[in-house]
Amino acid sequence: MGQEPYIDVRELTVVYGGETIFENENFRIEGSGLTMVIGPNGSGKTTLFKSILGLVSPVKGRVVVNGVDVTGHPEVAGKIIGYVPQLLEINASFPVSVKEVIESAIILHRAPPRLLTPRYLKERILNLLNKLELREVANKPLRELSGGQRQRAFIARAIIWDPSILILDEPLSAVDPKGRIEIVKLIAELAESKLVLVSSHDPSLFLPYAKAIMVVNRGVLAIGSPEEILNLELLKQVYGDSVMLIQECMHLCDSHVR
Ligand SMILES: Nc1ncnc2c1ncn2[C@@H]1O[C@H](COP(=O)(O)OP(=O)(O)O)[C@@H](O)[C@H]1O
Ligand SMILES: [Mg+2]
């Protein structure tokens, strides 16, 4: 039995060009389940993820993941955490097939040598292609796929070695409404056995599956269960007038679950 996955952030301070994005943040996320990170554009969601992934070096503080200090060390963090960056950051016209996207991760995220036999790899890739319903498009270039298929290809890449922690940055932003439900279900399923952090500025779809919500706005304003977090006062502080939209979604989700 492995230990429960966790992310422990201590006294994290991140500054970009003189602008403080996070100051002295402390939080801990533990165990499998879906934690939704919400906050307006520019509030620091991506910066927070990149700090956890060691891609941003804080001016102060530490990030410990599953007992390993990964602060400023993406090569260490990358062995523990699967990461799906926002699709906007990926050049989808690059002439590479779904299969190649997945295969390239095998080299990047070094696997235990005993697993690197051609037979095992072939099986592993086939399993992933089946699980993520990508088998039929496996040899197609990314640009010929739908947004949802492309997103699933990058999720496959991130989970190739079955990481205990998975971070997805705005996984719905480049996906059409029909494809979104499938992506949400897939992420919810992965969160049954992994610690999953997902950012979204339309949280309604993830809400029924979220065990926790973290509210970010140039700092971590709150972290807790959906019931604790989704109160009007707090959300108004963060979102101002657009909060009504979220409240309506909340009712919608409530009626779906029951
Ligand atoms: N590499 C960078 N260099 C300087 N400023 C940045 C960089 N990345 C993000 N920022 C700034 O940090 C703030 C938070 O950005 P970001 O983390 O991308 O927010 P979000 O993901 O919530 O939209 C924004 O003001 C953005 O302009
Ligand atoms: Mg972002």
Q: How many separate helices (H) and strands (E) can be counted in the chain?
A: 9, 10
Residue 241: per-residue pLDDT: 59
For the segment 102-112, the average pLDDT, to the nearest whole number, is: 70
Higher pLDDT, 191 or 201: 191
Q: Supply the pTM of this predicted model.
A: 0.89
> Among all ligands shown, which has an atom nearest to the Cα of 39?
1
Residue 83: per-residue pLDDT: 94
Q: Whose CA is nearest to atom 1 of ligand 1?
A: 16
Atom of ligand 1 nearest to the CA of 49: 17
Cα 201 to ligand 2 centre (Å): 9
Atom of ligand 1 nearest to the CA of 41: 23
> Among all ligands shown, which has an atom nearest to the Cα of 89?
2
Residue 122: per-residue pLDDT: 87
Q: How confident is residue 21, by pLDDT bands cut at 50, 70 and 90?
A: very high
Cα 122 to ligand 2 centre (Å): 34
Residue 161: per-residue pLDDT: 85
**pLDDT digits over 203-258, tens only?**
889 999 999 999 999 999 999 999 888 876 777 777 775 555 444 444 444 444 33
Residues with CB under 6 A from ligand 1: 16-17, 21, 39, 41-47
Atom of ligand 1 nearest to the CA of 50: 17
**pLDDT digits over 55-75, tens only?**
999 999 999 999 999 999 999
Residue 190: per-residue pLDDT: 97
Dihedral sign from CA coordinates of 185, 104, 51, 76: positive
Dihedral sign from CA coordinates of 132, 134, 139, 145: negative
Residue 191: per-residue pLDDT: 98
Taking 60 as the threshold, does the pLDDT of residue 2 lie above it? yes
DSSP E strand stretches across the chain: 6-16, 19-30, 33-38, 60-65, 68-69, 81-84, 165-169, 195-199, 210-216, 220-224
Residue 234: per-residue pLDDT: 72
Higher pLDDT, 83 or 111: 83
In sequence order, the 6+-apart residues with CB closer than 8 A to the CB of 37 are 45, 48, 49, 197, 198, 199, 200, 213, 214, 216
Q: Whose CA is nearest to atom 9 of ligand 1?
A: 47
Taking 80 as the threshold, does the pLDDT of residue 35 lie above it? yes
Map out the domains of the chain with their CATH numbers: 6-257 (3.40.50.300)
Q: How confident is residue 101, by pLDDT bands cut at 50, 70 and 90?
A: confident
Please answer whether residues 12 and 24 qualify as being in contact, where contact means their C-beta atoms are separated by less than 8 angstroms: yes
Q: Whose CA is nearest to atom 18 of ligand 1?
A: 46
* Range with top average pLDDT, 31-35, 75-79, 128-132: 31-35
Cα 246 to ligand 2 centre (Å): 19
Atom of ligand 1 nearest to the CA of 86: 21
Cα 169 to ligand 2 centre (Å): 7
For the segment 92-100, the average pLDDT, to the nearest whole number, is: 80
Edge-to-edge strands of the sheet including 220-224? 81-84, 165-169, 195-199, 33-38, 210-216, 220-224
